[in-house]
Amino acid sequence: MAISDVGLPGEVPWKKMSAEELESQYCPSQWGVRLRAEEALRTYSQIGIEATRRARATRKSLLHVPYGDGEGEKLDIYFPDEAAEALPFFLFFHGGYWQSGSKDESAFMVDPLTAQGVAVVIVAYDIAPKGTLDQMVDQVTRSVAFVQKRYPSNEGIYLCGHSAGAHLAAMMLLANWTKHGVTPNLKGFFLMSGVFDLEPIMYTSQNIALQLTLEDAQRNSPQLKVAQVQPVDPTCRVLVVVGQFDSPEFHRQSWEFYQVLSAQTLCQGEWKASFEQLHDVDHFEIVENLTQKDNVLTQIILKTIFQ
């Protein structure tokens, strides 16, 4: 499906699909062109594990820092070699359809970002079935508030998520920070191959663990909610990214979320949104390649932080 084919008024393509087709659309490993599904997943895990091992061995870090009282409410902080009073902080929320993945295998971008003076925070949250989606959103919200409170002189907090993690990051656009007693210094969002309207997920096998109702899905769909809020900081940038070899439904999700962000013309400001389709990468390579300092997206992230 070409970008020009999605986001048309009244069109909801997924509702016209068979159960089998919808399942396939939301199974990212089936859409890679280089590796078969199982090998793609195995490679993704191996790259994440190795990147995390290397980061923990070579970078200054604080590991398993509690941001709340729950057993799963921990984060890892990796620092640049050069000490500085104020640093930009890059928070990453891993993917895995809210039911797999771990901070302990997700430090993909630590080396190239810390080498350029960015502190990187990899956040854990309670995945399903232990955690509900509402709980995950609350945990991620509290992790962001925690970083702001612990490092109040930061030079900007940048949120990044991949797949399900992109959804959780996008939910921070809707957060009510008042009840957390702090307004984070949010300067940028990097949303990689995300799901922003959760209703289609209800009709796939992913919902066996999630147990989403329609009310749950709608309450936690930034696609449906973001038009009702205004940016806390009008200079905050939102980059919506999708891989060339992501499925048509993932393309549609990203493009339509970008369109909603771009359409806002609120009296007190609008989202500074942009959209990128990354050439020649699939759903997993989009984050795997963040281990590389010369990667296109790595460079976009650094340019956004240090503009």
**Positions marked active-site:** 163, 246, 283
Give the chain's radius of gyration (CA, Å): 18
For residue 266, the 8-state DSSP code is B
Q: Distance between CA 102 and CA 95 in Å, rounded? A: 8
Query: H/E/C letters for each residue in 225-257?
Result: HHHHCCCCCCCCEEEEEEECCCCHHHHHHHHHH
State both tokens at 239. Answer: 């980059």
* Ordered alpha helix ranges (H), the chain: 19-25, 37-58, 110-114, 133-150, 164-171, 207-210, 214-219, 222-225, 248-263, 285-288, 296-305
For residue 179, the 8-state DSSP code is G
Whether omega for the bond prior to residue 80 falls within 30 degrees of 0, making it cis, is no
Tokens 């799963």 correspond to 72
- Going by C-beta distance under 8 Å and a sequence separation of 6 or more, which residues neighbour residue 231? 266, 268, 269, 270, 271, 272
Tokens 């929320």 correspond to 93
The CA–CA distances, whole Å, from 239 to 85, 147, 250 equal 28, 21, 15
